[in-house]
Structure 1
Amino acid sequence: MLSTIGKALYLIPRSSRDGLKEDIEKLDKKLRRIQATIEEVEHRNVHDEAVNLWLQELKCLASHAQDILDDYHYEMLQSQLEVKQAGKAILSGQVSGVEFNNAMLNHTSSSLLIEQIRKINGRFDEISRDREALQLTNEEGKKRGGASSINLSLSSHLMNKDDIFGRNDDKDKIIDLLLFGVLGDEESKDHLRVIPILGMGGIGKTTLAQMVYHDLSIKSSFDVMAWVCASPDFDIIRLTKEICEFVTGDSGNSFCGLSMIQQVLQEKLVGKKMFLVVDNVWNFQQNDWEMLFLPLRVAKLVRVLVTSRNEVATQSPFTVSPHRLDVLPEHECLKLLYHCAFGGKEIRKIQWSLDICRQIIKKCGGLPLVIKCIGRVLHCDTDKYHWREILDNELWESDELDPIFCALKVSYYHLPTKLRDCFLFCSLFPKGSQLRKTSIIYMWMAHGFLQPRGRKRAEDIGEEYLAELQMRSFIVPHTKGSFCLHDVIYDLARSLSGDEIHTIVSKKSSHVPDKIQHLYIKKGNNPCESFRPQLLRTLFDATQRPYDSFIDVQDIKLRVLGLIGPSVIALLEHSRLRHLRYLAIMEFNGKTLPESLCLLYHLQTLEITRCYCLSELPKTIANLVNLRYLYIAYVGIGELPVTLWKIKKLQMLRLKECYNLRMVPLGISDLADLHTLQVKSCKQLKELPADTGGLINLSVLDLSYSGIRTFPPSMVLLKSAKLVLVGLPDSVKKQLYLNLVDVYFTNLVQVIHSI
């Protein structure tokens, strides 16, 4: 049967149908005006409670308008699909034309939609009058700063030497402590020694540890070196696994359980000298150190460097007196600030810049992280008056913030307004989380933070935003394709997000504010019983729940949803998720997903991971007409449905560890917009479809650890100049490129002869 609004649109009188279409077009224009107004006011950073309340009301109105447009477009998509299916049914004789027409008589929902649109328009006119009353048409009101942009990290042993100033004395002291008893061949009395580096957030503990890790005397004194980041959860299995990966050089994905990992680690460490860095230690159980060090005891000797903000890192019985890191001296701060402000160029120091820099350094409290953030802001505009504006910003004097937050908040309010929501959203996930760039970009897209410009796709805009946030030190690259937030930056983001973002990591955090828009529930936790979400737009629930036990989201306009286990089915079968753009399904143990999944016509991203029993995708997956990103990892599917190739907007198809996948059907060349094709660790798959060469916009082909070693002849049609091949043996890659080049020159010669 046709959907209600869809019926109305097709069968109501033409004048009424045109009236509804006209109202929708007016609402779409109105929404763009609302969004432009929000951006304008946020850009000016007006510091006034009445203005902030007005801005919140305007945002709610924008959200409501977007919901109405979503409902309209959903009904249109559904009616188009149903008309198409009904037309086929009439042709086949399964449904008569009379029955088809009788299905399209109710116009009630259409009238309700028109009424809602007109209410939105009227409310916007009222809010516009409030804008004039608040004098937001001129430059009055207190401002918080101008507009600009920021860069950050979980941690890695890799470092940028150009960004390091000072700390050489600290490095030498740490190295002396580490090498005591290491250089001689005699048996050391201190078989295991732990050296803690203590200091406040942003003072440079991780940087100092990186300097030590890369020192030549350290590298030449130890047989084995490893770097792990504890972050707030001291996860023994994860940490031991990561140490094992450093020692063996292999990924520990095949290891099942702590005992197996420890056994492999022991076998590799017998008689060797080991250096280990455990960065960013927050807390742990009493026996955590003992469990972590247990497989290391077979080594000839072990030296462990630990970084932490508090004394918890000194509680190991193997710990020597901690090295307490002090703030950076003023002359080193000045070098660092100039380096960041002028991009490392040798600039003659002008007196006015020296004076302003010295005053800024005092306000930064000698903390390198804060100096870097402020330096990046100064870098965007080296005009004297801009620098003076940064120095005189009232946020430095805020009573509610400590000096670190004051400085970082200044940097935040110099971010372009378009980046602020993107940055704050990253703080939804627990502190220390490693965030995948691709997933974050598609979550931003789901919330409308990214809009395509000209020929640039929304995905390209997302990449630019990440690059700018990194340049401004708000995010820090971790591994390839991922990033994290420094703890201090994370705390800043959460303080700025107010009640809109909430993460439940324990019973203490189970109370959820009424205005919550983005919610993450860590495994094993639950929101309080009084939780009644109304404005929720993002929900990640990492707790396994029974089939009939899930958070009631019937009347919520979710845009992003991530779920684990059987609750996935309950939600898909019983909830109206028509606004959903991003869906992540994890650890579902069924063989098939419900067909109701394919009613999510607005869906842009579908991630299916660790669903080992899942053997097939829904046959009606082609109904997901807006799908742009499909990621399937650690899933038992044997082949992809041929209907998948009907999703014309698909940009990225990634298949990883699909251990039963043996067939990718013909027709993939229909995906004219596909940019990335990844078939990684799918060892049973021996060949690509014969028409793969028809992917005219393919720019990345990743076949790492797959069983594919030969290519269909059509591959020579791919444009070699833009194609990046990943994970292929050099011989195969070389041959493929040679084939591509041969075809290019053959075509060139033909063109020349024709001239």
Structure 2
Amino acid sequence: MEQLQREMESLFCNSLCSRLDPRLDELIPIVQQVRSLDMESPKDQQNPVYKKFLDILIKGKELVRKCENVSPLNVFTYLRNMSQLFKLEKEIDDFVQHQMPAATLLGMKQLTRELKDGGHVDMGLMNDLIYGQASKLTRELKDGGHVDMGLMNDLIYGQASNLTSDPYENTLMLQQMSMEGWSQRCETSCKGSQENPNFLVGMEKSMFRVKELLFQSDVLVVGVQCMGGGGKTTLALALCEDSEVKGFFGNNVFFFTVSQSPNLKSVLHTMWEKLINKKIPEFQNAEDAHIQLQQELLMQSMPILVVLDDVWSRAALDILLFEGPGYKTLVTTRDSSTIPKSPSTRLYQLPLLEPDDALSLFCFWAFGQTTIPSTAQENLIKQVKAECRGLPLALKVIGSCLHGQPSPAWESAKNKLSRAEKISDYHKEGLLGCLETSIDFLDEEARECFLDLGAFPEDKKICADALLDIWVYVRKLEWQDAFVILLELASRNLLTLTTNLGSQAITYGSALELYFSQHDVMRDLALYLASRDRIGHRKRLLMPKEESNLPGKWEELKDKTFDAQIVSINTGFMDENQWSEMNFPEAEALVLLFSASDYILPTFISTMRKLKVLLIINRGSKRATVEGIAVLSSLSKLKSIRLERLIVPVLQELSKALWTLEKLSLSLCEGLGNLSKLNKKLSLNFPIMLDFNLDHCCDLEELPYGLCDMSTIRNWSITNCHLVHKLPDDFGKFTSLRMLRLSACPGLKELPASICNLKQLEFLDISLCECLVELPEEIGQLKNLREIDMRECSCLKRVPKSVRSLRTLKHVICDEKIEQQWISVKKSDIPDLVVEAVEEHFTLDWLDD
């Protein structure tokens, strides 16, 4: 990392951008003139190479302007700009070395002959100028200090592999990265809210008071009320980990997020799963679930504390409240009227932070310490802090976004905050106006990405891969640039990131093990900023919460054309008569969220001719059937589909309708048992498929032979599919495969020998395959293999001798029992190999919303 730091700093110290700028200024007019002359030729004789090169140069000029104002301390924007400079270098070099010579040989003599009589242009000289200036431009890029892109990837993905299940620790690590940029890992001692008092600054009295109420024998329900962003959830989570609370309730402390538009039946389903040691029965509806759960709890006799976080209505609370011997409930809410008034209930109104505590919290996120640094402008810092009005979320977000910023940025923040409406419990706009200041520190790309978060529900864990697909296919970002933006938003507390297993798959363009969530107030901010235009002209058309039908304002405009690029629809059951014929000709991403056992796709999808990304997510507790898949057959630009908690249609039929698909992800789905029944003579017709992901597909047992005909696939992931016991013998036909993940498939006993034919394979993940007995003897034929993750493979006792031939292998993750075998390989044959022995870590906590 120190080498990377020196090289990247050198690139800026050499003023690469300042040297590129005049070179581009000289070259662009020359190419423009050649392009103009070329256009005077008949259309069939024009050469497209000149226009392509001109576009590259103009894009390079815009990039230089953007880079000139970026400090290396702003590491996330810096990394994205560096990535684009690499791309610019490659494009110019490719043009100079390959495309331009061919174009000249074919057309330069003819163009010169046709133009020479005019006496205006010496095309030979023009050609020399283009070659000369373009070659100099390429040299400027290379002489500026070439940086190995692999090292840059190590910086980005190395940090990502250190992410944990603790969102606070992750934010701190990324924030330190944004300031120092080059450290391998945040050394901050913080391990979560319960272990670091900085996260609970100013809440000691509130903690004491709420515990006092909970421990009273005659109190069954305690409500904690405060405005959004006031620290209710932070307090509730801290209480769950408090030693006195654990001493009183033991291990029977359970936390459930309810949110603004809850699926109450699903919440009750999860409560049964956690509270009752019996098989989950069939619930007809939420009321039936409440009755059955109440009956069971009355028969139990033990201290239980249930935390219901973020409850918005009395009606929702009534169906989630229970009685039983030793049973108590802690409720957090914005509205005090949500808490019932009775002799057994108490309401605690959580105060905002006192000035000294507010300053400590603000400084913690702005400077990594609880006091104002001696080199900082004390008055300016106190003025910015004061505008946050003691609201913890505002202090945390504004402090994070000012982290590492120069004085002018602080002055700008102070001025904007002072002009905004004051924060109060009665004026939501005041809070949002304050938090909007945090968005000012994002560049245009990152700001657009933040606004896209409004398409997803608040306070829910969402697979980061789904969000990145939108940014890649709709925002047209490179995957690495999109991932850097994700890290940047997390470092600024604009979203939180968690993972239960630090997967190396991120290095290969897969974020399937990474989850993001957003505070409901931050989602409100994204919705607020995205809804400033009139409905028909918004770039994002988003439903803030679940409704029984489409919003009335949408229905009123159903005969009009919407400009929305991203559409998010959140409903319950919808039959074909409830869908209006809406017109979304510009839509490129569609997010369908629903809570029902059956769902019919809207027919207007067939008119979304530009649609590239489709997400269908069932938020109910059980898998749902989906009808109307045939409407997808007309979508010639569709690139990515993600399905969650569905009974999927026959995959072979799906492939007939989706021949343009590049990525298919199925999570928590049923219906894949039919895969093994495919006729061996048939194949799945996904001719350009690049990514195929199956996760927690409970009835998948065996993959068909026809599946291996998708020779274009680069990333293949089958995870948490417990019934899968074998792979097809012809698995080696995936000749383009770079990443293979077979994690948590405990029924898998062997890998086919043909896997050794995957000459492009770089990453192999067989972690948590408990029944896997051995690796193929010829695994040493995988000459490009860089990483193997084989942790928690309890039956795997030895590694084949051929692994000594894996000269490109850089990293092995394994259990302690097999660690010595890999160390022996390292000593004798692969000296640069990093062998990492890890402890057992498997968990299903990620399934909890």
TM-score by length of 1: 0.68
Partner of 1:272: 302
Letter in 2 for 1:215: D
Partner of 2:662: 603
1:476 Cα deviation from its structure 2 partner: 2.1
Is the Cα–Cα contact under 8 Å of residues 642 and 666 in structure 1 kept in the other structure?
no
Gaps of 5+ in 1: 1-14, 44-150, 182-189, 452-457, 750-755
d(CA) in 2 for partners of 1:654 and 1:272?
A: 41
CA offset digits 1:431-474 (Å, max 9, x no partner)? 333211222223322223531xxxxxx2x444433222111110
1:674 aligns with 2:738: yes
Of structures 1 and 2, the one scoring higher in RCO (CA 8 A, sep 6+) is 1
1:709 Cα deviation from its structure 2 partner: 4.0
1:434 aligns with 2:434: no
d(CA) in 2 for partners of 1:703 and 1:18?
A: 58
1:626-637 to 2 correspondences below 5 Å: 626-631=689-694, 633-636=697-700
Q: State which of 500, 519, 529 in structure 1 corresponds to 2:539.
A: 500
1:585 Cα deviation from its structure 2 partner: 7.5
CA offset digits 1:669-719 (Å, max 9, x no partner)? 845553350343563x33222244566654461543665344333456779
1:712 aligns with 2:776: yes
Partner of 2:434: 407
d(CA) in 1 for partners of 2:458 and 2:65?
A: 29
Change (3 A) 1:600 1:736: farther
Partner of 1:397: 420
d(CA) in 1 for partners of 2:816 and 2:614?
A: 42
Is the Cα–Cα contact under 8 Å of residues 566 and 587 in structure 2 kept in the other structure?
yes
1:559 aligns with 2:612: yes
1:282 Cα deviation from its structure 2 partner: 1.2
Partner of 2:582: 531
Letter in 2 for 1:216: S
1:408 Cα deviation from its structure 2 partner: 1.0
Letter in 1 for 2:389: G
1:392 Cα deviation from its structure 2 partner: 2.1
Partner of 2:789: 724
Partner of 2:353: 328
Change (3 A) 1:198 1:158: same
Change (3 A) 1:739 1:429: same
1:634-713 to 2 correspondences below 5 Å: 634-636=698-700, 638-641=702-705, 643-644=707-708, 646-657=710-721, 659=723, 662-668=726-732, 670-671=734-735, 673-681=737-745, 683=747, 685-692=748-755, 697-699=761-763, 701-704=765-768, 707-713=771-777
d(CA) in 1 for partners of 2:735 and 2:694?
A: 16
Letter in 2 for 1:177: L
d(CA) in 2 for partners of 1:626 and 1:316?
A: 58
d(CA) in 2 for partners of 1:612 and 1:430?
A: 26
Letter in 2 for 1:496: L
Is the Cα–Cα contact under 8 Å of residues 639 and 662 in structure 1 kept in the other structure?
yes
Change (3 A) 1:734 1:569: same
d(CA) in 2 for partners of 1:42 and 1:253?
A: 60
Letter in 1 for 2:339: T
1:402 Cα deviation from its structure 2 partner: 3.1
Partner of 1:144: none
1:312 Cα deviation from its structure 2 partner: 4.5
1:484 aligns with 2:517: yes
Change (3 A) 1:673 1:27: farther
d(CA) in 2 for partners of 1:621 and 1:535?
A: 30
1:279 Cα deviation from its structure 2 partner: 0.9
The alignment-based identity, stated in percent, is 17
Change (3 A) 1:377 1:566: closer
What secondary structure does 1:279 align onto? strand
Mean Cα displacement is larger for which, 622-631 or 200-209?
Answer: 622-631
CA offset digits 1:36-74 (Å, max 9, x no partner)? 69989999xxxxxxxxxxxxxxxxxxxxxxxxxxxxxxx
Change (3 A) 1:612 1:726: farther
Q: State which of 622, 628, 632 in structure 2 corresponds to 1:572.
A: 632
Is the Cα–Cα contact under 8 Å of residues 773 and 796 in structure 2 kept in the other structure?
no
d(CA) in 2 for partners of 1:629 and 1:592?
A: 12
Partner of 2:490: 470
Partner of 1:419: 446
Q: State which of 356, 362, 365 in structure 2 corresponds to 1:340.
A: 365
Q: State which of 566, 569, 573 in structure 2 corresponds to 1:521.
A: 569
d(CA) in 2 for partners of 1:673 and 1:737?
A: 27
1:587 Cα deviation from its structure 2 partner: 2.9
1:333 Cα deviation from its structure 2 partner: 0.9
Change (3 A) 1:609 1:664: farther
Partner of 1:209: 236
Is the Cα–Cα contact under 8 Å of residues 625 and 646 in structure 2 kept in the other structure?
yes
1:593 aligns with 2:616: no
CA offset digits 1:236-257 (Å, max 9, x no partner)? 4433444455558x9x997754
Partner of 1:227: 255
Is the Cα–Cα contact under 8 Å of residues 527 and 542 in structure 2 kept in the other structure?
no
Mean Cα displacement is larger for which, 195-204 or 577-586?
Answer: 577-586
Change (3 A) 1:613 1:675: closer
1:377 aligns with 2:401: yes
Is the Cα–Cα contact under 8 Å of residues 549 and 567 in structure 1 kept in the other structure?
no
1:386 aligns with 2:406: no
Partner of 2:829: 747
Partner of 1:509: 551
CA offset digits 1:285-328 (Å, max 9, x no partner)? 37x53x5344x62xx41222111101243037575231111211
Mean Cα displacement is larger for which, 277-286 or 363-372?
Answer: 277-286
Is the Cα–Cα contact under 8 Å of residues 247 and 265 in structure 1 kept in the other structure?
no
d(CA) in 2 for partners of 1:587 and 1:30?
A: 47
Mean Cα displacement is larger for which, 363-372 or 442-451?
Answer: 442-451
What secondary structure does 2:346 align onto? coil
What secondary structure does 2:586 align onto? coil
Is the Cα–Cα contact under 8 Å of residues 640 and 665 in structure 1 kept in the other structure?
no
1:489 Cα deviation from its structure 2 partner: 0.4
1:358 aligns with 2:420: no
CA offset digits 1:69-125 (Å, max 9, x no partner)? xxxxxxxxxxxxxxxxxxxxxxxxxxxxxxxxxxxxxxxxxxxxxxxxxxxxxxxxx
Is the Cα–Cα contact under 8 Å of residues 705 and 730 in structure 2 kept in the other structure?
no
1:610-621 to 2 correspondences below 5 Å: 610-612=669-671, 615-616=674-675, 619-621=682-684
Is the Cα–Cα contact under 8 Å of residues 422 and 444 in structure 1 kept in the other structure?
yes
d(CA) in 1 for partners of 2:780 and 2:392?
A: 52
Is the Cα–Cα contact under 8 Å of residues 247 and 268 in structure 1 kept in the other structure?
no
Is the Cα–Cα contact under 8 Å of residues 501 and 517 in structure 1 kept in the other structure?
yes
What secondary structure does 2:477 align onto? coil
d(CA) in 1 for partners of 2:43 and 2:392?
A: 64
d(CA) in 1 for partners of 2:62 and 2:664?
A: 24
d(CA) in 1 for partners of 2:370 and 2:780?
A: 45
Change (3 A) 1:706 1:18: farther
Change (3 A) 1:567 1:595: closer
1:419 Cα deviation from its structure 2 partner: 1.7
1:164 Cα deviation from its structure 2 partner: 2.7
Change (3 A) 1:731 1:673: closer
1:424 Cα deviation from its structure 2 partner: 1.5
TM-score by length of 2: 0.61
Gaps of 5+ in 2: 1-41, 71-165, 169-190, 501-513, 532-537, 617-623, 798-814, 832-849
d(CA) in 1 for partners of 2:729 and 2:789?
A: 23
1:30-429 to 2 correspondences below 5 Å: 161=196, 162-181=198-217, 190=218, 193-223=220-250, 224-244=252-272, 246=274, 257=283, 266=296, 270-283=300-313, 285=315, 289=318, 291-294=319-322, 297=324, 300-315=325-340, 320-344=345-369, 348-349=373-374, 353-381=377-405, 383-393=406-416, 396-397=419-420, 402-429=429-456
CA offset digits 1:490-522 (Å, max 9, x no partner)? 000011112222334324725437222222222
Partner of 1:447: 474
Is the Cα–Cα contact under 8 Å of residues 259 and 310 in structure 2 kept in the other structure?
yes
